[in-house]
Structure 1
Amino acid sequence: MDNKNVAPSNKLNSGSRSLGQLIMQLRRLERQPLHFGAAGPLTPSEIHTIEAIGSEGGVLMSELAARLGITKGAVTQLITRLEAKELVKRSPHPNDSRGVLISLTEQGMEAYAAHEEVHLRFYDQLRSQLTDQEIEIFEKCIEKLNHFLRN
């Protein structure tokens, strides 16, 4: 029998619709600034830049661009916005006169911690509704979906 002529199952259609709905929800969320501590409203791009900088210290602009998967020009624009909000600061690299290190200010660290708390609450909600095995499957599916979308 030729599989090309077989109609997709309802389950596949349901999964496809659910994925489409998830993508639409994520797009909607991407446009909505949220509050993280006293930092004021931050777009998802801004808070994820703060997350990528991290709390451990300075990061080079080129390394930050690589972590975020965006251009150096886009990182420069994000850093300029975050500097204006007093969430990050630039400082010269101690060993490379051309290098600029980006680090979080105290207020930026607050936003970072508040964002981490959002993630913890999300996982607490997942744990209340899913078994450990379902969470493991969920995480594996997200990992595979991310890998698929990168390629």
Structure 2
Amino acid sequence: MKDMTIDHALRATWQAVIKMYNEEAKNYGLTMALGFTLLSIDPKKGTPSTALGPKMGMEATSLSRILKNMEERGYIERKPNPKDGRGVLIHLTGLGLQKRKDSKDVVLRFNDVVKEQLSEDDLHGFFKTMETINKLILDKKIYIKTTTN
């Protein structure tokens, strides 16, 4: 354990989570990417297509491929944005709302099972650690450029 780097632990754990979610998502005719997208769309008001990529941390080309797939499956529909004539809002269909609920249930089950295994202090420490890592990255304090003459 002492030889494991922080980034390796993060990456290995995230890969295991992705694999677990994809295996479970198959039971609902989904993938983790589809489920994540469903959860990122506002179920009542819809979500501007231009806001979805940044919200999910995804490139436009990958997102447009997912949205096309979701539209073909009948999970979403695109409607003109009444606040921006050039924009499009992504809305969930009835089927999309059901698939969103399925995705949410899977995520909540994962959270519940993990929380059952951790003390409040451990869970607090985990979130504090993630917050610290994100802040260090956001504040660009990991790789500080130095000037040399």
TM-score by length of 2: 0.74
Code of the aligned partner of 1:142: M
Judge conservation of contact 1:126–1:135 (CA < 8 Å) in 2: no
Matched, 1:22 2:13: yes
Q: 1:103 to 1:138 in 2, by over 3 A?
A: same
TM-score by length of 1: 0.73
Question: Which sits farther off after the overlay, 25-34 or 127-136?
Answer: 25-34
Identify the match of residue 66 of structure 2 among 72, 78, 103: 78
Judge conservation of contact 2:71–2:77 (CA < 8 Å) in 1: yes
Matched, 1:34 2:25: yes
**Superimposed CA distance per residue, residues 85-108 of structure 1 (whole angstroms, 9 cap, x where no aligned partner):** 111110111232211110111111
Number of residue-to-residue matches in the alignment: 138
Question: Which sits farther off after the overlay, 19-28 or 115-124?
Answer: 19-28
Larger C-alpha radius of gyration, 1 or 2?
1
3-state secondary structure, aligned to 2:97: helix
Judge conservation of contact 1:60–1:101 (CA < 8 Å) in 2: yes
Judge conservation of contact 1:35–1:41 (CA < 8 Å) in 2: yes
Identify the match of residue 103 of structure 1 among 91, 94, 99: 91
2:112 matched residue in structure 1? 124
**Superimposed CA distance per residue, residues 3-54 of structure 1 (whole angstroms, 9 cap, x where no aligned partner):** xxxxxxxx43146564454244245447657147xxx421111111111113
Identify the match of residue 47 of structure 2 among 45, 52, 59: 59
Whole-Å separation in 2 of the counterparts to 1:129 and 1:18 = 18
Identity %: 23
Q: CA RMSD in A?
A: 2.8
Code of the aligned partner of 1:13: D
1:46 matched residue in structure 2? 34
Whole-Å separation in 1 of the counterparts to 2:111 and 2:23 = 21
Gaps of 5+ in 2: 141-149
